[in-house]
Structure 1
Amino acid sequence: MNKLENQSGIAPSFIYTYAWHEDEQLLCQLEMRSFFGVDTHTNVLESSIAIDPSRSPFMKERLEVIFSGESLQEILKQVENINMNDSTFKVTCINDNDLETTKKLRLTDRRRIEREIGMVIEGEPDFEQPDHDFGILTLNGHWYFGKYRKSDAVWYRHIKKPRSYSIALSTRVARAVANIAVPNPHGVKAIDPCCGIGTVLVEALSMGIDIVGRDINPLVTTGSRENIAHFGLVGEVTLGPISDVSTNYDVAIIDLPYNIYSHTTSDQQLSILKHARRFAKKVVIITIETIDDMINEAGFEIVDRCVAKKGSFSRQIIVCD
């Protein structure tokens, strides 16, 4: 196959499509800012940064742009240069939903566009298991063609874990929190020192994040290990208080014990945060209460935040340095 590059000669552009429930929009936008440094109020985001769409519970797909033009005919002329040699391919038209100002295309129109593109590519199509997936997209009056990657909703399979309890984070929130804490896993060491049954650990480990767990409750550490093993993952979970953590980490994820569900006092919560300040450069805090004064007292600076809702129940996700 000929090498396919962005025709501008610069780093390729990526177009991501999104879907979220209205209660999740703020959380989705915080995850966007963590990945890309910007967010959007629409369901499309364009960036030069490559993120596997399967990492996010909100991303639907990613198009790595190779060709662009003002019309489908311009795209067809450019696509003529593709020679698949012995490789197979598939073309997917992404316009199956409204995207920004562009209305979705009818199924018949999408299939026609896919056929037109496929007819000019020199190679063998395979609709089941192609060697290469291509995407075609019209957006705000422009056309884009490139390498296509659809999200695999890994987090959805993690809902059915052997151990759970009602106040644990949902897998969607846990996955977003792991991304907010560690947008780029390369060389990053993370810890969840109040890991509970390991919802965040499972999501983080499934994305290749180097993370360890810890909790003071032997029942939940056992449940956390069972959940991790159930999904074929490998991760360390130790038993003990946060005060005994002696290793330094790049980031800590702390889902603070809730006063209405536990016997943890405000002083104990402050102690947790002060210990986190001791061993972590960055902390992502999950809390049901406003604790800005406590965070400041522990020595952290709040750099970003959002509210994640589920009906009438709200959690604050707070990013601190």
Structure 2
Amino acid sequence: MTEQTKPTFIYTFGYSKEERELCHLEMRCFFGKETDENILISHVNISPSRSPFIRERIEVTLEGDELQDILDQVTAIKMADETFKVIFSKTNDRKPPHTIEYQERRDIERSVGWLIEGEADVHQPDHTFGMATVGGRWYFGHYEKSEAVWLQHTKKPREYSTALSTRVARAVMNIAVPNPQGIKAIDPCCGIGTVLVEGLSMGINIEGRDINPLVVTGSRENIAHFGFNGTVTMGPISEVTEKYDVAIIDLPYNLYTHATPEDQFSILKQARRIADKVIVITIESMDEKVKESGFSIQDRCLTQKGHFTREILVCT
């Protein structure tokens, strides 16, 4: 197999038109770039199941300018007693008339499979290999399909009508903490804990807080329901004394709470005090208040849930 100084990964994506901005913001936070091609190549290693938009990942072990280059190299693969399967990704950046359709993908899978020394098993293989074309080159490597973990969290014991969907909450968590190593996060207006559940499910060090005793109880119940250990305290953000790397602020809005513009501004100012980076989620324009609080807006996107349009701001 070819030697590479850094591992190379290929990711494919799927999202609706309404989710495009959110997916692209998550891409930028993960990979430092975005693409409309639904396929991206990067040295950044992200578990595909972290993102609600990543469909699959290939950890590249072989590459070449032509399919024949891959065919020549796979003959060196010896599977011994283990079985394997080859999947050619249906997502690529080729444009008509150069697209690779279903039958051709199956033919390529068989051609590659015939050259690998070992037993093929399309149903329960010990190893799955993936293939893709990106930027005119051909790639082959270890394949991993995304698991929709967040779907397991959609039915909570406690619900809240205006809470973020689990899909959006997971993306927001990734935008806030693309690399969890050594990061300490807080959601000081956590509500019933939708963001907390997603963060804890990804092994992120995050704790919650809220001023409403009912939702604090609900948040704790939701976290425990999914088998996670998380801390949720009661009280205003002004009483937080610890310092955090990042805070996620889903601003309470006066349509459903008694929060005033002054309350929202106070929350932002307190967030500036306790965190180096803040993700602000709001249903109304907060640019001026965010700036007055001492933040600089680094990135942003819009996302929709029913008739709600929320803006997500990445602030430092």
Q: TM-score, normalised by structure 1?
A: 0.93
Conserved 8 A contact 2:37-2:92: no
Q: How far is 1:8 from its partner?
A: 5.1
Structure 2 counterpart of 1:264: 259
Q: Where do residues 183-194 of structure 1 align in structure 2 (5 Å cutoff)?
A: 183-194=178-189
1:100 to 1:167, Cα distance in 2 relative to 1, 3 A:
farther
**1:76 aligned to 2:38?**
no
2:146 partner amino acid:
S
1:208 to 1:137, Cα distance in 2 relative to 1, 3 A:
same
Structure 1 counterpart of 2:237: 242
**1:170 aligned to 2:170?**
no
Q: Distance in 2 between matches of 1:140 and 1:301?
A: 35
Does 202-211 or 291-300 show the bigger shift?
A: 291-300
Q: How far is 1:100 from its partner?
A: 4.9
**1:288 aligned to 2:249?**
no
Structure 2 counterpart of 1:64: 59
Q: How far is 1:67 from its partner?
A: 1.4
**1:23 aligned to 2:28?**
no
Q: Distance in 1 between matches of 2:109 and 2:179?
A: 34
Q: How far is 1:14 from its partner?
A: 1.3
1:179 to 1:295, Cα distance in 2 relative to 1, 3 A:
same
Using the aligned pairs only, state the percent identity.
61
Aligned residues: 314
Partner deviation per Cα, 1:22-68 (whole Å, 9 max, x = no partner): 11101111101100111112211111111111111111111112112
Conserved 8 A contact 1:23-1:311: no
**1:118 aligned to 2:122?**
no
1:241 to 1:63, Cα distance in 2 relative to 1, 3 A:
same
Q: Distance in 1 between matches of 2:235 and 2:194?
A: 18
Structure 2 counterpart of 1:151: 146
Q: Distance in 2 between matches of 1:215 and 1:315?
A: 20
Q: Secondary structure at the match of 1:307?
A: strand
2:311 partner amino acid:
Q
Partner deviation per Cα, 1:62-112 (whole Å, 9 max, x = no partner): 1112112233222111000111223332211112x5645263522x43333
In the alignment, structure 2 segments of 5+ residues that lack a partner are none
2:128 partner amino acid:
D
1:12 to 1:24, Cα distance in 2 relative to 1, 3 A:
same
Structure 2 counterpart of 1:103: 99
Q: Distance in 1 between matches of 2:134 and 2:189?
A: 44
Q: How far is 1:213 from its partner?
A: 0.6
Q: How far is 1:312 from its partner?
A: 4.2
Please point out which of 193, 196, 199 is paired with 2:194: 199
Conserved 8 A contact 1:43-1:100: no
Q: Distance in 2 between matches of 1:181 and 1:138?
A: 31
2:5 partner amino acid:
I
1:100 to 1:274, Cα distance in 2 relative to 1, 3 A:
farther
In the alignment, structure 1 segments of 5+ residues that lack a partner are none
Q: How far is 1:140 from its partner?
A: 5.3
Q: TM-score, normalised by structure 2?
A: 0.94
Conserved 8 A contact 2:39-2:92: no
1:153 to 1:9, Cα distance in 2 relative to 1, 3 A:
same
**Over the residues paired in the alignment, what is the CA RMSD in angstroms?**
1.6
